[in-house]
A and B are shown apart, each in its own frame.
Chain A
């Protein structure tokens, strides 16, 4: 028998029982759609993570942290207990050493400082990240029009704001911010000037001392600092592209030039210890300025492992995006397997539906099958005919299921506002072409698997059934 005739006969018998075919296909539609949507959620998360890694220097980037003073909270809790406690500080000398290593494209220091910003009735708690101009350029940050990167030669500190920095601003009077009120603070980050206070501990002590004095008339605070912290006038030079609802890798950060930040800090804390900087045993400031971390770019992806081992041997703690990706990949594989498994259950139920429909169809057509057997239709052709019928159910279900998944994916992304509701950069649900093809192939396979035993049964039916007269 020709293939075209087999196809014609199979599709013809499906058309004959429209309602039953529709109901069976519906089962496959739901099964396919749930698998595709579930996996698309996992893929969406994975994709946004890839983009995040891309923005933080790509796979060749290595983050080096040294011994940190005090506020080591971030790193002590992130499960890097396998690594030895680093015993070196990241200083200018260390950066130079990194730069001299083989396969290093660049090595740049990073300095993290928390600061307080004052603007009108608002107070903002900022995370300043000082970087070299080259490193900032490498991050490929997308800016709004008219924005530029901080100029290292300007006299004042210039700030580049993340698109979500405004959420860190609160009204002084009510202590409420964007998340509580839903109103975006009325600040033009790009053009407005604001006060920046680097010595935030000092600032808050002064504040509480003031209020304490006025409210209770009791000013015997023993450690009142002699001098209030200096307020620096700063200007924004750019804002990261994207509105407040679009989560990006640079959402909360404020970038500035590292040298300007270092100079300002030194000026502010003249003669004292800068917070976060290590001290000698006698409590004096350390001789050299210490950075929070360093970003080392390897020349090639293959060099990353070797390079990170070399830096680790020098006594530093190393995290690479590649290692991070590997561990995340394992996690995502698990999430996807779990979500896909939930979807697979419904497809399994649909498979039982297909098997049932096929059995019914064969019982109904016992006579017809007998007749075509007597007329010389080969056993192989009969089997193929019924397998094709089941495969058709799978294919139609797969196609419609995919269309439905795209619709559901669109709605999910619409409701979660492009992923920002769950702190994701990009869409929560992502359906790549391979998923479409794979899910359709799988639906066809499930249809054929479910139709296999009914088809065998049809093949083995006795032709005598046709001769028997009713």
Chain B
């Protein structure tokens, strides 16, 4: 299997007043194509910092992040934006839909940054909304939708540009447990159907079990990598 993400000896230090805080203290791992990985840790463990670094939103203090053969730490901001535009989809905790646009337009937004024509954009967005089971709410504004529906729009938006990697930052953090399960199942299904690589950050051990591999992070270091893949397959065998 191809390595999509390689992280080597990654450090991130913050200066807080006079003291220096280590958000990441030497992290190494690889993620393969088509994998669904979860990064699990308590708040302040450095999981969000790690995700920001993978998505090129923050510069590492030391170490390297190679995504699809591209060294992220060497790109300037323009290069990072371009890289994200072409390779990365993003799902936010608080959805971050544009309030003045309806669901369809929100999903089509990343395509407009790529310079695609409006009718093609809307057609692709339409397909994506069908994929996430939001057939009835295409013309609704974010304020007219429930949290679960909004996050499904968010998932559709992350997928519409057909990126190789999708990052999700606590995608169910603002949802109740029932809706959370729904959204997780949706993401799992799509990732498997479309053979996408999904990296999700969460603090919820239970939600992490949807992933193929689980990275446990504590005080800026990965303490355990759990392979969930076989367990699940075994479970499936058992049910059969």
A→B interface (CB under 8 Å): 1-2, 4-5, 12-13, 16, 367-368, 371-381, 462-464, 466-467, 469-470
Contacts and interface: CB of A to CB of B under 8 A. Distances in A.
Most-contacted residue by chain B among A371, A380, A464 (CB, 10 A) = A371
Contacts of A464: 52, 57-58
Contacts of B74: none
Contact of B57 (A1, A377, A467): A467
Decide if the interface of chain B is mainly helix, strand, loop or mixed.
Answer: mixed
Interface stretch (B4-12, B21-29, B87-95): B87-95
Contacts of A5: 112, 118
B222 to A, nearest CB: 21
Given A1-B115, A2-B115, A469-B173, A376 B96 contact: no
Decide if the interface of chain A is mainly helix, strand, loop or mixed.
Answer: helix
Contact of B113 (A4, A12, A381): A381
Contact of B112 (A2, A367, A462, A469): A2
Nearest to A382: B81
A150 B65 CA distance: 100
Contact of A378 (B78, B93, B96, B118): B78
Nearest to A370: B96
B contact residues, range? 20 to 34
29 contacts: A2-B117, A5-B112, A5-B118, A368-B98, A372-B109, A373-B81, A374-B57, A375-B84, A375-B157, A376-B81, A376-B82, A376-B86, A376-B114, A376-B161, A377-B113, A378-B78, A378-B81, A379-B77, A379-B78, A380-B78, A462-B57, A463-B57, A467-B52, A467-B57, A467-B169, A469-B93, A469-B94, A469-B170, A470-B94
Contact of B92 (A1, A16, A381, A466): A466
Contacts of B161: 376
Interface in B10-57: 48, 52, 55, 57
B239 interface: no
A375 B90 contact: yes
A16 B109 contact: no
Contacts of A466: 92, 96
A12 B105 CA distance: 13
A2 B115 CA distance: 5
Contacts of B203: none
B198 to A, nearest CB: 16
Most-contacted residue by chain A among B92, B118, B157, B170 (CB, 10 A) = B92
Nearest to A368: B98
B85 interface: yes
Contacts of B96: 367-368, 371, 466
A375 B93 contact: no
Nearest to B114: A376
A183 to B, nearest CB: 68
A374 B115 CA distance: 16
Contacts of A4: 118
Contacts of A467: 48, 52, 57, 92, 169
Nearest to B110: A375
Contacts of B117: 2
